[in-house]
Amino acid sequence: MMGLLLASGVTAVASGAAPKAAGRVPQPVIESARGDKCVEDPAFMRRNHMIVLKHQRDDTMHGGIRGAKHSLKGCISCHASQTTNSVAATSTNFCQSCHSYAAVKIDCFECHSSRPAATTAQHLSPQAKPAQTAAAQQLQEVAMPQQVKP
């Protein structure tokens, strides 16, 4: 049973690490989000997330409107990776994955934190990551088989 779990864990990790081949075209890895549903239709967001983010950016910066539907903090809190707790720490994380695939540089995270606000502190310490063993990570992957979607 354990061996089976580990074996399927390895498969999940392997499929998570490399861009998945769908037909002849390589696809970016998209980690599933923590929430149930995106604030907009995913197809709309894929093409227009930069527009709604920029619109909200000016409302927040100049108008002081915080916590609105299209806030960057909202995106990050839902899309932060279960393993790195970030949207841009590794090449498979939500924002970075597509952006490296499309070769578009993200400037957001040179200033903005790529981690959700509430759990920032616990993931800042460098000791936190090595404590988690490879097997534990694999089991975590097994527990969340929906993490990797085409």
Query: Given candidates 19, 57, 99, 140, which one binds other proteins under the rule CB under 8 A?
Result: 57
C-alpha distances in angstroms, 48 versus 13, 53, 147?
Answer: 30, 9, 23
Nearer to other proteins, 124 or 144 (CB): 124
Query: Which residues share a beta bridge with 111?
Result: none
Task: Decide whether 4 or 118 has the Cβ nearer to other proteins.
Answer: 118
Question: C-alpha angle 50/46/36, rounded to 5°?
Answer: 105
Q: Does 62 bind other proteins (CB under 8 A)?
A: yes
Distance CA(99)–CA(106), nearest Å, equals 7
What does the per-residue mask of binding to other proteins show for 82-111, with x meaning CB under 8 A?
A: ----------------------------xx
Of 4, 69, 103, 104, the residue at the interface with other proteins (CB under 8 A) is: 69
Q: Quote the DSSP letter at residue 38.
A: -
CA distance linking residue 136 with residue 83, whole number of Å: 11
Q: Which residues bind other proteins (CB under 8 A)?
A: 39-40, 44, 47-48, 51-52, 55, 57, 59, 61-69, 71, 73-74, 76, 110-113, 115-117, 120, 124
